[in-house]
A and B are shown apart, each in its own frame.
Chain A
Amino acid sequence: MSEGSEPVLRTDGLLKRFGGVTAVDGCGFEVMRDSMTGLIGPNGSGKTTTFDLITGFQRPDKGTIYFEDNRIDGDRPYRIARNGLGRTFQITRVFPQMTVLENLLVGATGTELRSAAARALHLLDLVGLSDLRDEFCSRLSFGQQKLVEMARIHMRPQKLVLLDEPFAGVNPTLTEKLVAYIEKLRGEGTTYLIIDHEMKLIMRICDRILVLDQGKLLTEGSPEEVQTNSQVLSSYFGDK
C-alpha cells in the first residue's frame, strides 16, 4: 500500500513523568496516513504510556499532539475516540457480562444505530463470530475475545487505530488471522500504529517503524533501515 505524504498524527516533545520515573521523555514523531507503523522498544520504554497520552487517558506534562489538524492533548478520551482515533489495551478488555453484539454496538457509540447494526453483522461475519453474537463475552475463549476486540474497534470509521500488543499471548494461527483482518480493514482507509514485541512480525507487516527507548525516540524508518541499525537494536532486543 502506498504511503500518504501527510501525517495523520503528529507528536512533539511529549513528556510524562510518574513520580521519579520519566516514562515518556521528549518524544516526537509522525504517523503517515495510510501507513502501517510499528512502535517497538524494550519493556518499560514508554510505548503504552505514549498510547495513553495520544488517546487522552494520560495528560502530558509537556508537548503537543496533533490529530489531523486538531490539537488533542488533554482532550477527554471519548472525544478523541469519536473523532476516529481508536485504541485497544495491552490486556484484552471486552465487556464480559454483555453479549458479543452488545460489545460491538458500544463500539459504535455516537453513530447512527441502524448502520451500526449492519456494520456489526458484517464484522461478525468477517471474523467468524456470527453464531456467537448473543453469547456473553465471559463465555468466550481468549482467542474469540481477541476477535471481538478486533471487530469492536472497527465499528466506527476509524482514521487511526492504535493496537497495544495485539498479538501477545496469541497462537501463530490466530496471529495470522488477525493480521489478515487488519490488512483487509486497512483497505477501508484506516491507518495503524501497532505496538509489538515480535520483531520479525512487525518487520514483516509494517512499512514504517518507530523505536522507543527509555521514553525517547531512538530511531525511525523503514523496516530495512531500522534493521541495519542492528547494533543499536541488538543491545535492546538481544538475538530474537
Chain B
Amino acid sequence: MTMRSKLRLGALPVIGVAAALAPLFLAGYRLVFFLLMFLHVGLAYSWNLVSGFTGYISFGHVAFFGIGAYVVGILSGIHHWNWLIAVPLAGALVLVISLPLGWLMLRLKGPYFAIGMLAVAQATALVASLWDGLTRGGLGIFVSSSYNVVGVYYGLLIVLAVVMGVTYWVDNSRFGLRLLSIREDESAAEAMGVDTTRDKILAFALSALFPGLIGGLYAWYIGYIDPRSVFSLFFSVNMILMTLLGGAGTFLGPLIGGIAFTFVVESLWVRFPEYHLMSTGLAVIVIVMFIPNGIIDVLKKRGWLTHRRRILTRLIRSVETTPQKKAEVPERV
C-alpha cells in the first residue's frame, strides 16, 4: 500500500468519529439525510459481499431487508418488544434463513440465480401479504408512534461500520481471493482446491445478515410498514445500482456509489418522483456503457488508488527480505 492510500484509508475512522458526533450538531432533515446515506451505503456493502465478490448477481436482496423489517414490525410494533432486542433478532433470523436458502439458490448459475432470487423476494412479499394472522397482511403494521431518528442513526452507523469492517477484511484475506476466483471461473477455482459451495454460502449469509439488520432499523425509523413498501423491488435495484456505480468486488466501491446515489436521490428524485423509474434505467445503461467497473476503476486508472491488497503486500515484503535461492531458466517470453 502506498503512503497516499494509507492516508486515505486512515481518514475513514476520523470520518466515523465525526459521524458519531454529528447528532450533537445536526437535527431534522440534515440528520435524516445522513441516516438515509448510511442505509443506502450499508445495503450496497451487503449486496457487494456476495454479488460483487462472487459474481452471483442477486435481484432479490430486498427479501432480507423486508424480513428484517417485519421481524421488528411484529416484535416491536405488535408485541411491544424493545427495538434494541428486536433488531438483533431480525438479523439472527435472516442469518438462519440465509444458510439453507443459499445452499439451495447458489446451485443456480448466472441469470438463473438472479431470477431465482427475484422469485424469492416476490415469494417473501407474498407471504407477508397472505399470512395476515402474523403480519396483518396488506393493512401493514404501525411499528412505532414516535420518530426515532437519533437511535436509528446510531444503529445504522454501527451496522455500516461493521459491514465495512467485514468487507475490508474480505478484500484483504484469502477468503476474498477465493470469492473473486469463484467470480472469475468457478470450475477453475474448484480445481485449485477452493470449496466453492462453502465459500459461496458463507458470503451469501454475510450478505443477507446486514440487510436484515438494516431492514429492522428501517422499520423502527419509518414507523409503518406494509408488504409493498419494504419488499419494493427498488431496494434490490438500488443495491445493484450503487455497487456497480462505485465498483463491485472492491472495498471502497459501495461507499463511493452509495454516497453518490444518496445525493442524487435526495436532490433530484425527491423532487421529480415521476422520473424515478426512467432515471434508474438510464443510470444502469450509462454505468454499464461508460464505467463498467465503476468509479473506483476510473480512480485506479488515474493512479489515485492502488489495487494491491494489504495481505499480499505485507506478505511478499516479508518473504522477499528473507534470502531466496534464485531459480534457473530466467528467460522471458
Q: List the interface of chain A (C-beta within 8 A of B).
A: 55, 57, 76-78, 81-82, 86-89, 93-99, 101-102, 105-110, 113-114, 117-118, 121-122, 125-129, 131, 134, 141, 143-144, 147, 152, 156, 173-174, 177, 180-181, 184
Contact = CB atoms under 8 A, between A and B. Distances in A.
Contacts of A89: 187-188, 191
Nearest to B189: A106
Contact of B180 (A86, A87, A102, A152): A102
B180 A95 contact: yes
A106 B190 contact: no
B316 A105 contact: no
23 contacts: A55-B191, A57-B190, A78-B193, A78-B194, A82-B193, A88-B191, A89-B187, A93-B187, A93-B188, A95-B181, A96-B184, A97-B180, A97-B184, A102-B177, A102-B312, A106-B181, A107-B193, A113-B174, A114-B319, A121-B319, A125-B327, A128-B329, A128-B330
A218 B330 CA distance: 41
A121 B188 contact: no
B333 A143 contact: yes
Contact of B185 (A86, A93, A156): A93
Which interface class (under 10, 10 to 19, 20 to 34, 35 or more) fits B? 35 or more
Given A121-B320, A128-B332, A95 B188 contact: yes
B308 A134 contact: yes
Contacts of A173: 333
Interface in B78-119: none
A141 B333 CA distance: 10
Contacts, number: 121
B191 A121 contact: no
Contact of B191 (A87, A99, A122): A87
B111 to A, nearest CB: 20
A206 B223 CA distance: 74
Most B CB atoms within 10 A — which of A96, A122, A174?
Answer: A122
A77 B191 contact: yes
B277 to A, nearest CB: 31
Contacts of B195: 76, 78
A98 B177 contact: yes
B7 interface: no
Contacts of A102: 177, 180, 309, 312
Contacts of B187: 57, 77, 89, 93
B333 A105 contact: no
Nearest to B190: A77
A102 B171 CA distance: 12
B167 interface: no
Interface in B145-195: 174, 177-178, 180-181, 183-185, 187-195
Nearest to B197: A76
B333 A106 contact: no
B3 interface: no
Contact of A109 (B184, B192, B316, B331): B192
Contacts of B184: 95-98
Interface of B: 174, 177-178, 180-181, 183-185, 187-197, 307-309, 312, 315-316, 318-320, 322, 324, 326-333
A181 to B, nearest CB: 7
Contacts of A141: 333
Contacts of A96: 184
A156 B329 CA distance: 20
Nearest to A181: B329
Contacts of A99: 307
Contacts of B181: 95, 98, 106
Contacts of B174: 105, 109, 113
Nearest to B315: A117
B330 A125 contact: yes
A113 B315 contact: yes
A114 B320 CA distance: 11
Contacts of A152: 192
Contacts of A105: 174, 177, 312
Nearest to B311: A113
A72 B189 CA distance: 19
B193 A156 contact: yes
A81 B196 CA distance: 12
A126 B327 CA distance: 6
A95 B179 CA distance: 11
A121 B316 contact: yes
Contacts of B309: 102
Contacts of A110: 193
B188 A118 contact: no
A86 B191 contact: yes
A126 B329 CA distance: 6
